[in-house]
Structure 1
């Protein structure tokens, strides 16, 4: 992940409702020009302090960015501790146990015998924050040979080498039509964005054609909402998927500030967020 310079971020007041710190990262699934669709003001004078949503991608120096901005009375909506809770599996897993596959994590790769005894084979391997571009060979581990081959690559991979190692119970997910690739097979998985406990956007995760019906959507969002309520964060992403037995489980969580939109309409998401923030402000105006 890159380092972000706060001085290069654009502070805007979106629809006179919510502050956003924007920095483009040149990814179509992440970047969205708010000023093309919404009223965006850049006032010379602003109230202090303010809370702002950061939309500048994933950063290795979130803690540094937070404190540098705080010195100017601009506070990102997630403190460094909240950012880690939303992003790092060892932080969010204890709160979501029972909603998500059994997981163990290690600062150094353990012997495969330890993992096999605790979780079994096959297992799902990932970094504490993310996979490396969804590579199946580094994620779906069916044997000791697979494990040690993946571990060697993990220690050299620029995305994975700085993360703790996470070993997860392998759960068969409902497949969806997709072309065979070297990536993790696409499944019936959906991303959802939650602002102050309210869903402001949800849609398919993988770039292939599949859809949920109303009953599936209701069940999926019920699990996602339960996870969002347990985490109790201002702006969080919950990814959920259906297993081959029909259950819904949490796949992972993320800080929504740095999460891509996947198939969700960015315009609809921001309009919903603005509407929810206006309701929130109205309720708390006299409190």
Structure 2
């Protein structure tokens, strides 16, 4: 992403991944000049702790750089318990828990099997067993594990009604590669969208009608969220219905099968204009 930004003429400044070596956000941004007028900024990298995002946001603002999402907008896009109330009708039923004591009630409410993830990230890269539980014992064990993952959970676990997505392939770890499309949206306008999974897949091609359904649903979700720069994953159930699967602060979202240059070609207009 940074290489693509540089190729298209955007100014790129590197900052340390944490404050261990520099002490604070102001020191992390010491090498960035103060801009004469407010300009848009996009943070590209790994998801940071909330406190770090807030600190960098304020330090950048002092330099005349305004990140596309405020700290509250960043949280709303990233933390499931904040965006779920806006999207209940567009996704599947979920329960937010903060301890293993709440597992019994969550299992009774949703029924088994259920899908589990942290408030920020799932652990699907580690396989199906790291996300899906079939009974109360498994639910409690996986919940305890997820709560220990500071970056992925932020102290919360999401228990979701398991849905079956249309798919043709399995990932090397056995995870079903459901028919999903990631949409990058700025101010409720689609910038680019692409198939979620790498590799060739017959399901990666959308008909005109399917494309319309996917993009309309993504825009509807963005309108309800009111977050300027957001990535929204739309997936198709085996029944053919399309639902919202996941939301993210687009600054920290992988581009999937979207060419980075094409996405930055859209973003550069935001970057060059005052905000």
TM-score category (smaller protein)? 0.7 to 0.9
Q: In the alignment, which of 133, 137, 153 is matched to residue 145 of structure 1?
A: 137
**What does the per-residue CA deviation read over 1:52-83, in whole Å, with 9 as the maximum and x for residues that have no partner?**
12223321110111112222232212111010
What SS is found at the alignment partner of 1:254?
strand
- Give the alignment partner of residue 234 of structure 1, picking from 218, 228, 231: 228
Unaligned runs of 5+ in 1: 1-29
SS in 1 for 2:246: strand
User: Cα deviations across residues 98-140 of structure 1 (Å, max 9, x unaligned)?
Assistant: 0011111122233433012211111111001111253321211
Residues 140-194 of structure 1, C-alpha deviation per residue, up to 9 Å, x if partnerless? Answer: 1112232133134324445446431111111111112235524x31100111100
Say how many residue pairs are matched: 250
Distance in 1, matches of 2:54 and 2:188, equals 24
**Contact 1:137-1:150 within 8 A present in 2 as well:** no
Equivalents in 2 of 1:277, 1:67: separation in Å? 18
Rounded Cα–Cα distance in structure 2 between residues aligned with 1:224 and 1:234: 13
Match of 1:217 in 2: 211
Change (3 A) 1:146 1:209: farther
| Residues 109 and 165, structure 1, Cα contact 8 Å, conserved in 2 | no
* Structure 1 CA distance for aligned equivalents of residues 124 and 150 of structure 2: 11
Structure 1 residues 235 and 115, CA gap change in structure 2 (3 angstroms)? same
Match of 1:134 among 115, 125, 129: 125
1:47 positional shift? 2.6
Contact 1:99 1:249 in 2 (8 A): yes
CA distance 1:276–1:54, shift in 2 (3 Å): closer
Runs of 4 or more off by more than 6 Å in structure 1? 42-45
Equivalent residues in 2 for 1:42-191, closer than 5 Å: 46-60=35-49, 61-135=52-126, 136-157=128-149, 159-160=151-152, 162-182=154-174, 184-191=175-182
1:33 matched to 2:4: yes
More helix by share: 2
Separation of aligned partners in 2, 1:51 and 1:35: 16
TM-score (norm 1): 0.78
TM-score with structure 2 setting the length = 0.82
3-state SS of 2:251 partner: helix
Partner of 2:256: 262
Q: Would you say the 8 A contact 1:191–1:237 is kept in 2?
A: yes
Residue by residue, what CA displacement relative to the aligned partner does 1:249-281 show, whole Å, maximum 9, x if unpaired?
001100011111111111111213345788x98
- Name the stretch that deviates more: 78-87 or 207-216: 207-216
Q: Distance in 2 between matches of 1:228 and 1:162?
A: 23
CA distance in 2, matches of 1:44, 1:160: 33
